[in-house]
Structure 1
Amino acid sequence: MRIELHFGDITEYNADCIVNAARPSLLGGGGVDGAIHKKAGVELSEFCKNLGGCSVGEAKISPAFHLPCNNVIHTVGPRYLFKNESEIQDLKNCYLNSLEIAKKNEIKTLVFSNISTGAYGFPKDLASTVSFETVTSFLLENEFPEKVIFCCYDIENLELYMNLIKLNR
């Protein structure tokens, strides 16, 4: 199977590339974004200064510096404020644009964090369904990435993804 689950800290994952739930500045922040920047070192922030920021739904790639992975794809998730279709599309675009970068760079193993489910308030059940459906559809049509891993930092996200995988076997 080309989709796997991992329970733990994405900054510890040794893969070709991890996906950061970034702030628009790409210069770090709280949650997973802050953890990735802290572990990668100041070099990541210095590199990201030259990327010119990132809009919601877009994605950009950088080296991983002191992280155990090779690269980091930074994507800016939507805040869940209006509970409308455009927020869902923005979240879907985070995954699609990250997958397109992985495809372009022939990244074999891509690890996603749970984008927008922390401080940005996206309901975890809705976000897991959007991400899972987006990733599975993309993988059916594309050779790269060879494997996608959903890295869950909490039990709730892990259980949601486990149920989605069971339903789609």
Structure 2
Amino acid sequence: MKSSARLESVVFQLTPTRTSILDQFGLALGHVERCDLFIIANEKKEKIASGLLNPFLAHLKTAEDQIAKGGYSILLEPDPDTNALWFTKGTVERFVRFVSTPEILERVYTIESEILQIEEAIAIQANNEIGLSAEEDYHAKHELSNEGNKSTTDTKEEKAIVLYKPGERPAEPTGSMAQEGNSK
């Protein structure tokens, strides 16, 4: 499919891999979802990217709304009453490259980390109210938080969004070098 091909729709197909981040009491503090990104034009479907869903959600209000309703895919379509000349494969590829830049990924993960810290503080407060020792909770939470920090810095391939080219075998993400190579 050519870069100038006008699209009928874009589909984020959520993959079964869903990693939950749990606190010591088994309460889900957050989750990481992966997706495959497909474009559809002239009744042809092409996979153009694969990676984490959260960086995309930070930029697409419609996608956030659809994920809140549940389901296993997110469908993006232009308004049928408008002439969406901009809704092309090239536009979607540029958007994927933008979303997968290290600065954008870091911003998304910083916000997620801050949300987790707030949720941890709420859990500690709730534990104090039911008579548990704040000191024990703090140390347990701090260890969990440190483990979480290690995983985000040690596994940069988890952050990668891989662009696909027709006829090429998808490269395995190995960090920023793989991102740069795939985004060109």
What's the TM-score, normalizing by structure 1?
0.29
What's the TM-score, normalizing by structure 2?
0.28
Of the two, which has the highest radius of gyration? 2
Bigger proportion of residues as strand: 2
